[in-house]
Amino acid sequence: MTTPPVPLNDGHAIPQIGLGTWPLNDAEAERVIQLALDIGYRHIDTAVRYGNETGVGRGIAASGVPRSQVFVTTKLDGPFQGEDRAVAGLDESLARLGLDYVDLLLIHWPLPGRDQYVSTWRTFERLQSAGTARSIGVSNFKPAHLERLAAETGVVPAVNQIQLNPTITRQDHVDYHLDHGIVTVSYTPLGRENAPLREPVIVDIATRLGKTPAQVILRWHVQSGFVPIPKSANEGRLRENLDVYGFELTRDDMVALYALDTGVGTDSDLKGH
């Protein structure tokens, strides 16, 4: 099983379905990454804050999959914001991962109270020019934060990674992304505690299609043009989450799923993961 690439605004591309690794520890990450890459995943998402970059790197190395075929994302959080702190932060991440570069480097949160995300972004631009980060982006940024980056630096992030699922659609964020060529990456794509899996509408669609509720939700992400990064340590669910390209949701199905939006999570709860 493989997933199609989604073009980024810098000429690179990101595999459409990735594997989230929070809250795996190093030992768990090493095992799961090897398994996932064997199944067909080619997009792995981690972060300094997750504390599992070493395990992720070991899993990639042990998998036998060529480095050029694995898309690796990591994120730098608060201690690496401001001045040139991201330089050392990425160096440390690369050392833990055992890699020469990451495919995507994200600012984990804007932390507007610190007012350092613009200077951090300028450091990210230099890291991209140096080749240690192929693409650069952000996570948990609101449209106002993205607008400020564009106005003050002229460089638009390749992606914005945000919490997104049919009950939290963040249409204002998605619309901004579409208007500015930013790819929407969905974390917690199946919802907190997998609550959307129990929605009667989703269960009914899954029953009709002979699919699982998780596959229906991930198909919704795919058809919406998002890049979901579901997380699981279970082999069956890893396979299931990747197997969403052999069917389509109808227009009515898509409308029904979007109608599940609760209106919650459009602004104040974007705090990261």
CB 56 within 8 A of CB 19: no
Question: Would you please indicate which residues are annotated as catalytic (active-site) residues?
Answer: 50
φ and ψ at residue 24, rounded to 5 degrees:
-65, 140
H or E element, residue 97 = helix 85-97
d(C-alpha 19, C-alpha 14), whole Å = 12
SS3 265: coil
**Which residue is associated with the tokens 């030992």?**
27
**Which residue is associated with the tokens 């990639």?**
60
Q: Is the peptide bond before 112 cis (omega within 30 degrees of 0)?
A: no
H or E element, residue 105 = strand 102-107
d(C-alpha 203, C-alpha 138), whole Å = 33
